[in-house]
Structures are given as C-alpha cells and as structure tokens.
Amino acid sequence: MMRPHKAYPVELAQFHSADYVEFLHRINPDTQHLFANELSKYNLGEDCPVFENLFEFCQIYAGGTIDAARRLNHQLCDIAINWAGGLHHAKKCEASGFCYINDLVLGILELLKYHSRVLYIDIDVHHGDGVEEAFYFTDRVMTVSFHKYGDLFFPGTGDVKEIGEREGKFYAINVPLKDGIDDGSFTRLFRTIISKVVEMYRPGVIVLQCGADSLAGDRLGCFNLSIDGHAECVRFVKKFNLPLLVTGGGGYTKENVARCWTVETGVLLDTELPNEIPDNEYIKYFSPDHLLRIPNGHMENLNTKSYLSTIKTQVLENLRFIQHAPGVQMQEVPPDFYIPDFDEDGQNPDERMNRHTQDKQIQRDDEYYEGDNDNDHDMDDA
C-alpha cells in the first residue's frame, strides 16, 4: 500500500485543456451560480455536479493512477491497483458521466514514455468513450471495450463499426452487448477476443478498467454477471504476465462494488478469500447473509448465439488488418515528475500547514531517494 501524490494541475493538463483544469480548480458549490456559461461549456451540472473539494477529489484519484503507471515503468511492481480510478468518460475539455479528469488517459500517457504499445481493456457496463476518443488516431494504444450498446444507453457510442481512424484505424475495438449477458457468454467472448488482441498487438503493458456496474443487480447496469464471472476477466488478463495497471470504474450498488473489488484484489494477489465476510464496522451493509459473492442475475439474456458470433467474427476480422507490433520512432523519454518548488525555509512557523502540504514533506520508508535522503546510503559500509 502506498499513498500517491495529489496530481498537480500541470500534470492534469498533459491531456486536459489548461482552461478546463483551471476552472475545475476554482469552481465550488457556493460560487457556481456565477458561472452559468462556463458550467454549460464544460458540461458540469446534472450528471457531473459541482461539490465541495471537487478538484482535490480529481487530484487524488488521478494521482493514484499516474503513480501506479510510474511504478510499473520503473519495475517497482508487476501489478498496480487504483480502485479509486477508472473514470473513463471525461474528455479533453469537458466532464461526462460523473467523470471530471480522465485518470486512465493520464496513466496511459505515462506508460507510453516507456512502452511502445499499451493495451486498454474496459469491462464497465458503459462504453469507455473518453479513453477511446483520446487515442482514436494512434496505433500506440489499442482500446478494447465490452459494454451495453443500444436503447439510448449512455453514452450512446461504442458500435462495433467504430474502429479508429488514420494511424489508429483498426486499433479501437468495441464489443457492443445487449441486456442480460451472463457469465458463460461474456467470459467466452472476452477470452477469445483478448487472446487474439494480445497475440496480434503484442502490448508491453495492459491497463484494465474493472467497472462494477456490469454486475447483476447494479442500479444502472443491465447485465447478469456474477462477481466470479467479472473476476474471471481479471484472472485471465493476469495470466499474460505483462505489467498490469488495474482501476475501478462505475458501480451503483455500493455493497456489491466493495464485494467485487475485494474478490478481484484477491485474484491479483493469488489469494483465495473465504465467502463469509468477517465482522467489521460496515457489516450491516452486507445483510442478511454476510457473504462475499453474489449469484448471477435473472434477466433475460437478449444476446443470442448468432448475435455474439456475428460480433466476434467482425472483431476478429478487423484484427487481421493490424500490423504485427507497430513500429514506434525512438525518442527521448520525457521526465516523470513535475514537483513545484517547495521553500521550507520560507514558511511561516506560526501558520498551520494543511494536510496536503504536510504530505509533501513525508519521506516514505519504502521509497528510494538520492543523496542524504537515501535510506540505504550506509549499506555499502556494512
């Protein structure tokens, strides 16, 4: 476990427009009535409400995904998890679907500094439109989204015919599904498509968005997936033994979201968890059975075998057009960090520091430092 840094505005602006980041920084519930035009421009309002500490919220979850990517880049871990991340709808200049900053895009941009090709996989019930749009014209990122499509379901994109453009043509893969898909249908399709994608694309690293609104019983979702079915996708991706960044995403039946990501943390750690939830201060949320896993749903599965076969055939046919391991021109690796200057001597000792300022001065025991802050600098003398 590690506490990530809060992403700086300049880091957020690596993808988002500077004016949008600046507006998120200064808007708050008390002043939003003064900015009606800007709220409309940046799509803040009904689906993306302004709330207290909105910008800090964005900094925290985005910082988690950015730091996860950096740790993978420097081989400090094989798998990095940020369950607070996965806000895949946010666009360059606007919020969307309760996503304000697209941490996934920022994490992928970080990974691209060290990896020629990044594979992004999305199993949220909603189409990963923000991530797809960000990389729609490049072959360095392949986006693969399994999602509900049709019936005006949000965000309304994600047809199998949306495949990317220009250099990115055939590097966007969409698997549009209908209501009620079950574990067997979903996992068979997932394994077939992802196996072929990894074989053809040969990514150096994988980003997996595990939105839990694809579970049965979700308040906004419409699938029949059990937690074990959902987790099987995580288990399958892990078997490729590639560096893996895992995030959360949607999920609107909160007790099932907690169950799902707990089970999937166990999968990623090769740890089998008992089905009985131990006593804890939140146990009342898991009444009456206090069990970790939930069964399949009972909605009618509208995904016929012929429909799923057609989708699979179209996707595999498109994969035939991509080049094996697209070439990438070598260039200087951009720096990892942007750390604003911090003048400790210039601080007023009579002023109380906020938590964020204190956190920036913490030196973690499990990190590596150069110079006098190196915890291991005396080891050579031992």
The predicted-structure confidence for 228-270, as pLDDT tens digits, reads as follows 999 999 999 999 999 999 999 999 999 999 999 999 999 999 9
Q: Are 55 and 25 spatial neighbours (Cβ–Cβ below 8 Å)?
A: yes
Q: Tell me: the pLDDT tens digits for 99-144?
A: 999 999 999 999 999 999 999 999 999 999 999 999 999 999 999 9
% of the chain residues with pLDDT over 70: 85
**Mean local confidence (pLDDT), 23-37:** 95
89 as an active site residue: the answer is yes
Instruction: Name the catalytic one among 16, 88, 89, 230.
Output: 89
Average pLDDT in the 291-313 region?
93
Tell me which of 337 and 320 has the higher pLDDT: 320
What secondary structure letter does DSSP report for 372? G
Taking residues 158-163, report their average pLDDT: 97
CA distances from 264 to 155, 212, 217 (A): 26, 11, 18
State the Cα torsion 229-263-249-220 to the nearest 10°. Answer: 60
Specify the higher pLDDT residue, 364 or 247: 247
**Residues 336-365: what's their mean pLDDT?**
51
pTM of the predicted model as reported, rounded to 2 decimal places: 0.87
Contact 264, 232 (CB under 8 A): no
Q: How confident is the model at residue 346 (pLDDT cuts 50, 70, 90)?
A: low
Of 199, 247, 248, 195, nearest to 72 by C-alpha is 247
SS3 category, 79: strand
Alpha-carbon dihedral sign for residues 282, 287, 291, 297:
negative
Q: pLDDT at position 219, please? A: 94
- H helical segments located in the chain: 9-12, 18-26, 36-41, 54-73, 103-111, 129-134, 183-201, 227-238, 254-268, 305-319, 355-360
CA neighbours closer than 13 Å in the CB half-sphere of residue 191: 12
**pLDDT exceeds 70 at position 194:** yes
Residue reference for tokens 């200064």: 26
Which SS3 state, helix, strand or coil, does residue 182 take?
A: coil
Q: What angle do CA 192, 185, 144 make, to 5 degrees?
A: 45
| Total number of residues shown for the chain | 382
Mean pLDDT within 294-320? 93
Over residues 33-38, mean pLDDT:
94
Q: What is the mean pLDDT of the chain?
A: 89
